[in-house]
Amino acid sequence: MVTETFTAGEDFTVPDGVFSLAIELEGEAGEDSSNPGGQGGRVTGDVEVRPGDTIFIRESIGPTVDQGDGGNSIDIRRGGTTLSDRDAVAAGGGGGGSDSVDNTGGPGGDGGADTGEDGGGVAGSPGGGGGTQSAGGAGGSGTDVNGEDGTFGDGGGVNGATGAGAGGAGWYGGGGGGTSFVGGANDGGGGGGGSNYDDGLRTTTANERGTSTRTHGEGGLVTITYEQTPGAENLQITNTTATSNTLAWDAPTLPPEVDSVDQYRIYRDTDPGTVRADYTEVGTTPTPGFEDTGLDNGTEYHYRIGADFVPEPVGTITITGFRGV
């Protein structure tokens, strides 16, 4: 098994022989103010892929405000890089609200699950609502200043330096907190958490609110785990002559996403390359076994065997063999 981690802005190209990815997404916590920011959401599951597919890892940024910024969401996208191309999203938490005098604002709501948590608040300074699967969280209706509503992807802000927390980003973002001015102090509610999204996964094993380990300032994190299916197994040189090598191998174990092997491709080079592009294709065969002819006596040859699956190609394996008389 291979495990790789990615932050926003990176792309992952599915390697040869990979037809399924196990994916974990963790959103970012909202910023602490006088009150704590909410924790980010977490999504795990798997997605069906084909070799050569591109997975785009992107984020939506939580609003930057005077006190408690909203947390960033993180997502995977396929087929494009717009918000509508998102297959799965782990939401950000809402930012914490504050009061410059007696710290009576509200905490930020946790991001995640199908609906983010509402931000906390006090009389006159309610927290923003959590994002849902179909709408952004409502901004807190403050006595003096209302928070902004969350939108598709983005959390709501707070309309100026009010001390309220911003909403966390997500599939839909949380709303910003509302504010009341009491005795010259800005009494601000916490931002609502954004919502997760998992409809683009083949199966979902977790869709959780507030369980991300990502602190504010780290951004979100995507962990991808996969296993490669070899293009052939137990490759060996079974016979040599002055001008030929006879190759033999076993057919690979087919993954459930593949019907059959269409043909095998034989690659050869005189140097042990590290990727298939280092080799030259010298022939194909519908079944395991191949006689490679026209060789130079006393030269060392290196082989890779690839398999074209129906409907998609798989990976290759390498064997080094000395061609003797």
Whole-number pLDDT of residue 28: 98
Whole-number pLDDT of residue 102: 56
Verify that 144 and 274 share a domain, yes or no: no
Verify that 51 and 174 share a domain, yes or no: yes
Whole-number pLDDT of residue 137: 98
The tens digit of pLDDT for each residue in 32-73 reads 998 999 999 999 999 988 878 999 999 999 999 988 999 999
How far apart (Å, rounded) are the C-alpha atoms in residues 125 and 121?
Answer: 6
The token pair that represents 295 in the structure block:
């060789």
Is residue 47 within 8 Å of 87, Cβ to Cβ? yes
Taken in order 98, 25, 57, 86, is the CA torsion positive or negative? negative
Whole-number pLDDT of residue 261: 83
How wide is the angle at C-alpha 105 spanned by C-alphas 103 and 106, nearest 5°?
Answer: 130
Whole-number pLDDT of residue 1: 83
Whole-number pLDDT of residue 305: 86
Whole-number pLDDT of residue 24: 98
How far apart (Å, rounded) are the C-alpha atoms in residues 210 and 225?
Answer: 23
Is residue 8 within 8 Å of 61, Cβ to Cβ? no
Nearest to 93 by CA among 139, 151, 149, 31: 31
Question: How would DSSP label each residue in 275-314?
Answer: SGGGSEEEEEESSS-EEEESPPTT-EEEEEEEEEEESSEE
Positions of the chain with pLDDT lower than 50, given as ranges: 312-325
Whole-number pLDDT of residue 258: 74
| CA 103 centroid distance within chain | 37
Verify that 173 and 306 share a domain, yes or no: no
Nearest to 13 by CA among 282, 315, 321: 315
Verify that 218 and 246 share a domain, yes or no: no
Verify that 274 and 192 share a domain, yes or no: no
Verify that 224 and 284 share a domain, yes or no: no
Verify that 36 and 65 share a domain, yes or no: yes
Identify the CATH number of the domain in which residue 282 sits. 2.60.40.10
C-alpha radius of gyration, the chain, whole number: 27
Using the 3D structure, point to which of 228, 250, 268 is the last residue of a domain. Answer: 228
Verify that 98 and 59 share a domain, yes or no: yes
Verify that 204 and 67 share a domain, yes or no: yes
Boundaries of domain holding 285? 233-322
Using the 3D structure, point to which of 180, 207, 228 is the last residue of a domain. Answer: 228
How far apart (Å, rounded) are the C-alpha atoms in residues 83 and 30?
Answer: 21
Is residue 2 within 8 Å of 72, Cβ to Cβ? no
Whole-Å CA distances, 142 to 135, 178, 185: 20, 4, 14
Using the 3D structure, point to which of 228, 253, 268 is the last residue of a domain. Answer: 228
Verify that 212 and 307 share a domain, yes or no: no
Verify that 192 and 122 share a domain, yes or no: yes
Single pTM value for the model: 0.79
Q: Total domain count for the chain? A: 2
Cis-peptide, bond into residue 311, ω within 30° of zero: yes
Verify that 283 and 310 share a domain, yes or no: yes
